[in-house]
Amino acid sequence: MRKLGTQARGIRTPIIQEGDNLEKIAVSSLLESAEREGFSFNDKDVVGITESVVARAQGNYITIDDIAAEIKENFQDEIGVVFPILSRNRFAMILQGIARSSCKIYLQLSYPRDEVGNPVLDPEKMREAGIKPYQDTITLDKYREIFPDFKHPYTGINYLDLYQEIGGENLEVFLANNPEKILDYTGDILVADIHSRHTTRSILQQAGARKILALDDLCTRDRGRGYNPEYGLLGSNKASEEKLKLFPREGQALVESIQARLKEETGRSIEVMIYGDGAYKDPTAQIWELADPVVSPAYTSGLDGTPNEIKLKYLADNKLKDLRGKELLEAAREEIAGKDADLIGKWRPRGQPPGS
């Protein structure tokens, strides 16, 4: 019986730049690291590559002016933007592009938190003021009256002030949790939420919106610059004061080519994935690290599937409670080997995602 469980290693690579051969860099860095540090490869090992280096190697960048041009192309004099997250490095950059289009902007934020948990106000003061979050709309004047000193706990920024500064006189911001509220201002909508965007779009379509696009409808075509045909502006992040890095594209070919090269070099069947935000929730601030549209935009087939583990501690406390030592270990192995191929919907002591 081996005495070590899962091990994680951070592999140092050269600094990745646009045009670099990421397949070659990833494979050579792994092989050199294994030789120098004295570890070996095993079947079912997993190699993770952050989405940012993939996009950087691809040169998958756009500018704020590129966003402005697409807004002008799709909207006329006004635009309603619904449920963006609170972020300096993500939506603030997109808002700069929208503002440069010269459209009148109606910006609707959710409250007391955005989609990924960033607070926009103090919920205790909200309750004291008698505000009903599923009914009431909070104008900017009312917000400043009730929450004059509110700052984000990590960044120290008031995002209403930041977004108002970016949009200037052309921007009107308010807080409301019903997406249909934006239709009191305009029928031309940009849906800016991430994981709930399909629901928001459906609600607005049924409510009679004139035009609806979402962030994944913008920057989706090859125009001689960065683009992502599946996610558009979703997953974009600040690269410089004028440039954004988009979520990587064509990742499946990359992970499969790296897997094939590693098989040639090591003889092992190693899984490869590109990963973005890891869906971690800060237990203190209640903020999710979940601003990318998916955790992994590309991965090899061995990583496909759903959790299908039995809960070992439940077995040890019940069915196997009278066993000890080698007999207990062998019985646990038999339970694992004999589990159903798919435990969904069947009563077994299943392992579950944290918090479920």
Domains in the chain, CATH or no CATH each: 22-59+248-303 (no CATH), 61-243 (3.40.50), 307-356 (no CATH)
Residue 210 CA to residue 189 CA, distance in Å, equals 8
Residue 290 CA to residue 195 CA, distance in Å, equals 9
pLDDT at residue 349, rounded to an integer: 53
pLDDT at residue 305, rounded to an integer: 80
Three-class SS of residue 287? coil
Taking CA atoms, 286 is separated from 68, 114, 282, in Å, by 33, 11, 5
pTM of this prediction? 0.90
Ranges in the chain, pLDDT < 50: 350, 353-356
Q: H or E element: which one contains 105? A: strand 104-109
pLDDT at residue 345, rounded to an integer: 67
pLDDT at residue 92, rounded to an integer: 98
